[in-house]
């Protein structure tokens, strides 16, 4: 016997539906049937105030008496919502004999159909069912969907319906009609359906932090925007797992800047953002980690201010936090590190200079972003200002993704370290010492590995 359910939405307007029982549980069943225009008859010796009020307002008919077999005559479907399993079994068996759909509340084995958890946005309805197995899970999913699909989807669905009807009435060819409707459906409502002059107004831009690469570390707001955007301009190092979270109708544009390779200039990125905004698009600028930490958000926000474009920043998990979490390191420690310094090994002109003498202190943790091929230079600079050769450090490559690599070593061996895949982050300081960390990580192509002895 197949347990696969056939998902369908029934038209109940004018159909006779019976509910046996009028307690708290029955209330929602009765109300949902009445909302759909069904002719609802309730049979029960007692009823809640809500059921009495619906009957008093002539929304339903309540017959104050016990159930009788003749109550099923002429009924399209029946809901059994009492405390008696024996009564439910009799109703279900009789309904089966008479070809009537039956739902016995909280008894999946006596149900021909289930009540799903429903998100209602006007004509748009999203139903969630667990085949009667886990109704609380269905309710939890419904709550998440209600946040994702707000009230604005109701009027937007109405607008799409009117557009479709107008095209059908005007005789637009099926292929052209399909193309137009697909284009309309790629636009998502932002606080309401744009129309008239509003549709031509400049769009808004959201700067979103993609985090280190694990989609589970995206903020809820970031995920919702990736689903509903018209255009997403993303950096080259945003993980494929994050890009997979982008909605199916969203246009993806690679705006990555790669060292030593042909790529978009910063000015071209500014122009692209402004052009899509003036086209009325909902634009997401997707950057790895947190866009406000060693990203180019500052330059891009300045360009948007000059152009009069509205924008908003949705921060993400910064790479230093992700790298430390991956390596199970606390970036600060009351005994070992009271200072935490973020610095970048990459500048727009390619020069890398830092006041190492003031930064490289025994009680500091250095989080060095974008070390690239500068490991030998970083090691020399730190050794020259007096850090001991045995100072521990950790390189974390592609943190939080399935390709994550962790290398634990010291300054003496850092200069000889081959460059791991980007994005990578270097942590230097006593908090990385191996006495509380499992030693050795390996990486390589074709099974080749590189191992370092743990720092003692």
Residue 79: the pLDDT is 98
The class that CATH gives domain 207-317 is: alpha beta
State how far the Cα of 238 lies from the Cα of 175, in Å rounded to an integer.
36
Q: Which residues contact 331 (CB under 8 A, 6 or more apart)?
A: 320, 321, 324, 337, 340, 365, 367, 427, 431
State how far the Cα of 222 lies from the Cα of 412, in Å rounded to an integer.
41
Residue 456: the pLDDT is 35
Q: Supply the DSSP symbol for 234.
A: E
Q: What CATH superfamily classification does 320-436 receive? A: Tetrapyrrole methylase, C-terminal domain (3.30.950.10)
Straight-line distance from the first to the last Cα atom of the chain, in angstroms, rounded to the nearest whole number: 64
Q: Output the tens digit of pLDDT for each of the chain's 456 residues.
A: 457 889 899 999 999 999 999 999 899 999 999 999 999 999 999 999 999 999 999 999 999 999 999 999 999 999 999 999 999 999 999 999 999 999 999 899 999 999 898 999 889 999 999 988 888 898 889 888 888 888 888 888 898 899 899 999 998 898 888 888 887 776 666 554 333 333 334 579 999 999 999 999 999 889 888 888 889 999 988 999 999 888 777 889 998 765 545 567 899 999 999 999 888 888 999 999 999 998 889 999 999 999 999 999 999 899 999 999 999 999 998 888 889 999 988 654 445 556 787 887 888 899 999 898 889 999 999 999 889 999 999 999 999 999 999 999 999 999 888 889 989 999 999 999 865 344 333 333 333 333 444 333
State how far the Cα of 215 lies from the Cα of 206, in Å rounded to an integer.
18
Asked if residues 241 and 214 have their Cβ atoms less than 8 Å apart, the reply is: yes
Q: Catalytic residues, which ones?
A: 235, 257
Report strand pairing: 311-314 vs 205-209.
parallel
- DSSP string for residues in 329-394: --S-BTTTBSEEEEEES--TTS-----HHHH--TTEEEEEE--TT-HHHHHHHHHHTT--TT-EEE
State how far the Cα of 196 lies from the Cα of 113, in Å rounded to an integer.
44
| Residue whose pair of structure tokens reads 């809901």 in the numeric block | 79
- Please state the domain extents for the chain: 16-115, 151-194, 207-317, 320-436
Residue 151: the pLDDT is 83
Report strand pairing: 77-80 vs 39-43.
unpaired
State how far the Cα of 68 lies from the Cα of 170, in Å rounded to an integer.
54
Q: H or E element: which one contains 43?
A: strand 39-43
Q: What's the CATH number of domain 16-115, 1.10.10.10, 3.40.50.2000, 3.40.50.720, 3.30.300.30? A: 3.40.50.720
């Amino acid at each position: 016997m197949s347990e696969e359910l056939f998902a369908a939405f029934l038209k109940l307007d004018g159909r006779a539906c019976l509910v046996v029982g009028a307690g708290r549980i029955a209330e929602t069943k009765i109300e949902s049937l009445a909302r759909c225009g069904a002719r609802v008859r309730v049979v029960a010796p007692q009823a809640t105030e809500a059921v009495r009020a619906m009957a008093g307002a002539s929304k339903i008919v309540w017959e104050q008496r016990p159930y009788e077999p003749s109550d099923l005559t002429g009924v399209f479907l029946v809901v059994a919502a009492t405390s008696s399993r024996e009564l439910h079994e009799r109703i279900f068996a009789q309904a089966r004999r008479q070809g009537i759909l039956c739902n016995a509340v909280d008894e999946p084995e006596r149900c021909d159909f289930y009540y799903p958890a429903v998100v209602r946005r006007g004509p748009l309805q999203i139903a969630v069912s667990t085949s009667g197995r886990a109704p609380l899970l269905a309710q939890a999913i419904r709550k998440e969907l209600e946040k994702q699909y707000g009230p604005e989807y109701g009027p937007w669905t109405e607008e799409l319906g009117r557009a479709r009807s107008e095209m059908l009435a005007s005789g637009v060819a099926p292929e052209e009609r399909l193309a137009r409707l697909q284009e309309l459906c790629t636009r998502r409502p932002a606080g309401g359906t744009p129309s008239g002059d509003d549709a031509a107004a400049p769009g808004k831009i959201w700067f979103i932090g993609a985090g280190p690469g694990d989609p589970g570390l995206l903020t809820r707001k970031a995920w919702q925007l990736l689903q509903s955007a018209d255009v997403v301009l993303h950096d080259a190092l945003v993980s494929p797992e994050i890009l997979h979270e982008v909605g199916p109708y969203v246009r993806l544009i690679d705006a990555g800047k790669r060292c030593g390779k042909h790529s978009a200039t910063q000015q071209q990125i500014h122009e692209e953002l402004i052009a899509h905004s003036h086209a009325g698009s909902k634009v997401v600028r997707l950057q790895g980690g947190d866009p406000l930490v060693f990203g180019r958000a500052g330059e891009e926000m300045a360009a948007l201010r000059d152009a009069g474009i509205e924008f908003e920043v949705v921060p993400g998990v910064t790479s230093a936090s992700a790298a430390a979490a991956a390596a199970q390191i606390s970036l600060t420690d009351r005994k070992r590190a009271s200072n935490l310094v973020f610095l970048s090994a990459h500048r727009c002109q390619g020069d890398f200079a830092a006041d190492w003498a003031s930064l490289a202190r025994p009680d500091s943790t250095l989080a060095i972003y974008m070390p690239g091929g500068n490991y030998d230079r970083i090691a020399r600079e730190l050794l020259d200002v007096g850090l001991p050769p045995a100072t521990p450090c950790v390189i974390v490559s592609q943190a939080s993704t399935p390709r994550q690599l962790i290398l634990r070593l010291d300054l003496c061996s850092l200069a000889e370290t081959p460059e791991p895949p980007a994005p990578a982050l270097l942590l230097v300081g006593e908090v990385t010492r191996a006495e509380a960390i499992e030693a050795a990580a390996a990486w390589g192509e074709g099974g080749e590995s590189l191992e370092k002895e743990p720092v003692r």
